[in-house]
Structure 1
Amino acid sequence: GLGSGYFSARFRVESEIARIQALRAEDRSLVEKTVNQVLETKVSGTAVEWRNPDSGSHGKVTPVRTYRSESGKWCREYTLITITRDGARQSRRAIACREPDGRWKKRAELYLDS
């Protein structure tokens, strides 16, 4: 009846929300891996594209400059552009510094107008 239709529709909505959240997590993981790879291996000015075929999201990471922090860590400034399947665009400029274990840890992030 009407009640089962409501619960069925609600379940579909909740399933879709869970799917979207999983794709966002997948996008974040892909971006994080790309950022780490770019900061570790690419010279400033070299843009590297990333794409998640499952979510339709894509973008690029571009290292801008490299410097040593006051504490002696290597740090890099970079831009990150993300474009979702529906065309929403987000541009960020960030700074990450290399930790002793080799990971790049974000220190600052600024969202830019697109």
Structure 2
Amino acid sequence: MSQTDLEQISRYLDNEMSPAERVEVEQRCASEPAFKALLEESTALNISLKTTFTAPGTDAVPPKVAAMLGTTNNNVIAFPQRSQRTQFAIAASVAAICGVLIAQNTAFQSAGSPDLLNDDLLLSQALETSPSMAKGWQILDDGRQLRPVLTFPSTSGQWCREYLLSAEEQDWRGVACRQDSGEWVTQALGTEAFLNPGDAYQPAGAGDSDSDKVATFIGENAADIALGRNAESTLIANGWR
């Protein structure tokens, strides 16, 4: 959702729209499920906040907040005055809508962004049990393709693994290190351009800062060379001990 959408919802909730503008919002709700869901959630928050701050017996608005709301500026066009409590309720409502947008954006990133792979259970489980491969791919339950590339000890005493991960629209190269809990947590991640998911990959161009994250992490944190096939197989079989 854009800033314009946020402002439109805010004006709709504050009854500051003309009849034609309200019809436009209702038409958007009919054709845009995401916009409708945001409006409904924002409406519920708006009602809750206004009830909280305008109910009989509610404590006065905190002095510091009242002072901010009461600040005037001679260079600003004056609008009809609202009570401090109502102003505070509206300000809180707008903040709540912003929170909804932030939460929705975070949820989207969690589902689709590799920057949050630390909570990726499927990836962690696969790195725990899968041997490194020079070619070929392991298919995860959600359809992504994984290729562990190598295993090395880190200077912090953890085991770390470089891996390639391919999804429908994006490919990545990363390094994850094993925690005491048995979870593999991604420490560095960069985009990649795979030539052919079947047998090869091509790193992003030399000097690409995003791709260099992985090489830099390995260079700064590897305590020794990568394990050979037999040593890695034994380590996996022994539960990384």
Quickly name the TM-score band, shorter chain normalised.
0.5 to 0.7
Pairs aligned (count): 103
What's the TM-score once normalised by structure 1's chain length? 0.68
Structure 2 residue aligned with 1:112: 192
Unaligned runs of 5+ in 1: 53-57, 84-88
Q: State the SS of the aligned residue for 2:157.
A: coil
Which structure shows the bigger proportion of residues in strand conformation?
Answer: 1
Which structure shows the bigger proportion of residues in helix conformation?
Answer: 2
2:35 matches 1:14: yes
2:100 matches 1:49: no
Identity, in percent, stands at: 27
Hey, what's the Cα distance between the residues in 1 that align with 2:170 and 2:154?
A: 27
Q: RCO (CA 8 Å, sep 6+): is it higher in 1 or 2?
A: 1
Judging changes above 3 Å, is the alpha-carbon distance between structure 1 residues 48 and 15 closer, same or farther for their aligned structure 2 residues?
A: farther
Q: State the SS of the aligned residue for 1:34.
A: helix
Give a deviation string over 1:52-77, Cα, whole Å, max 9, x none: 5xxxxx42111111111122211001
What's the TM-score once normalised by structure 2's chain length? 0.36
2:163 matches 1:78: yes
Query: Which amino acid in the other structure matches residue 106 of structure 1?
Result: T
Judging changes above 3 Å, is the alpha-carbon distance between structure 1 residues 47 and 34 closer, same or farther for their aligned structure 2 residues?
A: farther
Mapping of residues 65-104 of structure 1, within 5 Å: 65-83=150-168, 89-104=169-184
Hey, what's the Cα distance between the residues in 2 that align with 1:2 and 1:94?
A: 51
Structure number, greater radius of gyration: 2
Unaligned runs of 5+ in 2: 1-18, 39-100, 195-241
- Give 1:23 deviation, angstroms: 6.7
- Give 1:44 deviation, angstroms: 0.9
